[in-house]
A and B are shown apart, each in its own frame.
Chain A
Amino acid sequence: MLLETANLNAGYGFLHILRDVSLKVDEGEFVCLIGPNGAGKSTTLRTIAGLIRPYDGRVSFRGQPINGLAGHRITQLGVSYISEAMNLFTNMTVHENLMMGAYTIRDKAFLRNQLDFVYSLFPRLEERRNQLSGTMSGGERKMLAIARGLMSNPKMVLVDEPSFGLSPLMTKAVFEALDLLNRERGLTILVVEQNVTLTLAATNRGYVIENGRIVLEGPSPALAADEYVRRVFLGI
């Protein structure tokens, strides 16, 4: 098991959000976490990424406990978090942002390799390499956020709302890129999304979260056909 959370409880101060969240992601899987607004999807990712300290429960990565580690240690272990707000360095160029993404890599040749790889994945970024990231369009910034997350050569990426603020066309392109990474590079992906139809079509397996609890889990096609999911999320 690559990533596992067991009875995770977390939140912000007195605001208890996650209640006994247990989920498992195996190596090479493309897993989604879906649910309505405020269900705790982003909180789950932020807790795994070490940006929030859980109240209790366990998070383990490759069998090692990582709950309570500082966020930068978790990145160094090979879990890359791509946030909804993107958290780009807006006064740095595209190229500088990517170099910051490779902060944990010291091998120069390997770094150049990674840079070539993300530029081949998103040729648009290479065209804009000297532009300040704060001046780019939403779709380009999202690409940059994903590319920056990939620069550290992670074993696993946590992607928070890849469709947020994007046009349907752009959303599709982002999902295609994630799918490509998963299939061709064997990258393990845990994605959080509100666009349920598209997400269930792209992923292998899914969890449904409501009010901070996991209520359903199963292979994505089964979830897409599930009576409850269809009624609540798809409105059918």
Chain B
Amino acid sequence: MIHWFKGFFAWLRTAAGVSVSAAVLLAAFAAIDRGPYVLVNTVVMGGMLGLVAMGLAIILGVLNIPSFVHGEFFMIGGLAAYYVITPIKDYLFENPSPFLAVVGPVLAIGAATLAGALAGALAELLVFRELRRRNRDNWVMNCFLLTVGLNVILINGHQLLFGADFKGIVSYWEGRPIELFDVAVSMDRLLAFLISVSIVVGFWLFMKYTRTGRAIRAVAQDETGATMVGIPLGWIMTLTMALGCGLAAVAGGSLLFMYPSYPTVGMEATYMAWFVVILVGLGRVLGALVGGFMVALLKIVTLEYVGSGWDFVVPSALIILVLIFKPSGIFGSEVRGVLDQ
């Protein structure tokens, strides 16, 4: 018991301990000062941001790609969910069916995940695999440029094929908001949170206990070593890209009621995911989840106390501080895998 306490106090003095406890204190203060809805918003947004950032972190860790196209998979998720849920909602308007009202949103979010994963796998097969086969010099820089190019193509492709208007819905699930700590939480928010929790748990179990999940971790730690034990790199990389992009897309699909799909909706997701990944340290996948809650809290507290329009400034300022004082991130990664190549 005493040993456990000692360990806890030692952890409190590390960069991770200081920032996590500062975040908890800030959240407690804001919740008491302004009301518990701050916490509810933080938790919903943090869970989803955590998913997007986890996707970015795993792509960075395994494929060594600094992806600036990550938010576009969020956009693809929203788009796919919109085109699945709209006809279902139209049909429901004519012939109400409680079964379809529950299954419809699940179908839409499932379609979003699938579309994002498929788009991610295609990006790997058509773009990054080709580059890897030809030349691995300056890999990180070349990949950065490719992702920026892909970003332009996807944004303009959306505009060309689907138009620039907002494609959104009011809500997925009908029904009255639920009262939690005197806050009315809509069903959509509650379910968005439940989705993020179940995906994080599933993802963690997959990475820890399955043969393929362990192979993904092995490739992230040592590519040559992974080849030496007989892990097919190409398949693992395609799968990781699909998983990472699927994580962004499931967030895009689940948050369609807050973020309607339009060409540049993914920009915010990209920036926020990068804030998280830089904050926690590159390649920290589970750290990205914690970081997601921290950045979401910062954003919401800023909106609350400083005013809207400042919600990008404060996290950016924090990133500058992190890069100056703790460039390896608060969870202190060795930044292997990114600088190695």
Binds A, one of B7-15, B213-221, B262-270: B213-221
Q: Is A91 an interface residue (CB 8 A)?
A: yes
Minimum Cβ distance to chain B for residue A10 (Å): 16
The docked-state distance in angstroms from the alpha carbon of A85 to that of B228 is 12
Interface with A: B49-57, B180-188, B229-237, B245-253, which one? B229-237
Q: How many residues of A contact B (CB 8 A)?
A: 30
Of the listed residues B215, B224, B231, the one surrounded by the most CB atoms of chain A closer than 10 A to its CB is B224
A92 and B221 contact, CB distance less than 8 A: yes
Indicate with 1 or 0, residue by residue over A152-188, a CB within 8 angstroms of chain B CB atoms: 1000000000000000000000000000000000000
Q: Are A80 and B228 in contact (CB under 8 A)?
A: yes
Q: Is there a chain B Cβ closer than 8 Å to A81's Cβ?
A: yes
Interface centre among B217, B218, B226, by most A CB within 10 Å?
B218
Q: Which interface residue of B211, B218, B230, B231 has the most chain A CB atoms within 10 A?
A: B230
B304 within 8 A of partner (CB): no
Quick one: closest A residue to B233, CB to CB?
A: A72
Give the residue name and chain of the B residue nearest to A105 (CB). Answer: B230
Kindly list chain A residues whose C-beta atoms are within 8 Å of the C-beta of B218: 89, 92, 100, 103
- Pair A92/B217 contact, Cβ less than 8 Å: yes
| CB nearest to A154 among chain B residues | B230
User: A103 to B227, Cβ gap below 8 A?
Assistant: no
Tell me whether B214 and A49 are in contact (CB under 8 A): no
Given that A92-B217, A99-B214, A100-B214 are contacting pairs, would A87 and B222 also be in contact in the complex, using a CB cutoff of 8 Å? yes
In the complex, A29→B214 CA distance in Å? 34
Interface flag for A70 (CB, 8 Å): yes
- B interface footprint on A79-108 (CB within 8 Å = 1, 0 otherwise): 011110111111110001001110110000
Bound CA span A100–B223, Å: 13
Once A88-B222, A89-B222, A103-B211 are accepted as A-B contacts, the answer to whether A75 and B217 lie under 8 Å apart by CB is no
Of the candidates A72, A85, A148, the one whose C-beta lies within 8 Å of that of B232 is A72
A87 and B224 form a contact (CB under 8 A): yes
Inter-chain CA distance A70–B231, complex, in Å, is: 10
Instruction: Give CA–CA (A160, B221) in the complex, Å.
Output: 21
B222 touches A72 (CB 8 A): no
Chain A residues 40 to 62 lying within 8 A of chain B, measured CB to CB, are: 49-51
CB pair A100 B224 closer than 8 Å: no
What is the bound-complex CA distance between A86 and B211, given in angstroms? 22
**Given A88-B222, A89-B221, A92-B221, is A75 in contact with B214 using a C-beta cutoff of 8 Å?**
no
Q: B231, A90: Cβ atoms under 8 Å? A: no
Contact A83 to B214, CB < 8 A, known contacts A70-B232, A76-B230, A101-B229: no
Closest residue of chain B to A98 (Cβ to Cβ) is B229
Residue of A nearest to B208 (CB): A96
Q: In the complex, A137→B14 CA distance in Å?
A: 26
* A76 to B215 CA separation, bound complex (whole angstroms): 15
**Is there contact, CB below 8 Å, between A90 and B214?**
no
Q: Is the CB of B230 within 8 A of A104?
A: yes
The verdict on A35 contacting chain B, using a C-beta distance below 8 Å, is no
Asked if residues B222 and A71 are in contact (CB atoms below 8 Å), the reply is no
A212 interfacial by beta-carbon distance below 8 Å:
no
B224 touches A148 (CB 8 A): no
B231–A103 CB distance below 8 A:
yes
Q: Bound complex: CA of A199 vs CA of B218, how far in Å?
A: 32
A101, B225: Cα distance in complex, Å? 9
> Is the beta-carbon distance between B224 and A51 smaller than 8 angstroms?
yes
Q: Is the CB of B221 within 8 A of A75?
A: no
* Chain B: CB-nearest residue to A148: B229
CB proximity of A221 to chain B, nearest CB, Å: 32
Cβ–Cβ contact A103 & B224, under 8 A: no
Report which residue of B214, B215, B227 has the largest number of chain A beta carbons within 10 angstroms of its beta carbon: B227
Residues of B within 8 A of A151 (CB): 229
Given contact pairs A89-B221, A91-B221, A103-B229, enumerate 10 new A-B contacts (beta carbons under 8 Å).
A70-B233, A72-B226, A72-B233, A75-B227, A83-B224, A90-B222, A92-B217, A99-B214, A101-B229, A152-B229
Name the 8 nearest CB pairs between A and B, nearest first. A87-B225, A75-B230, A71-B227, A104-B230, A89-B221, A72-B230, A87-B224, A72-B232
- Interface of B toward A, CB cutoff 8 Å: 211, 214-215, 217-218, 221-222, 224-234
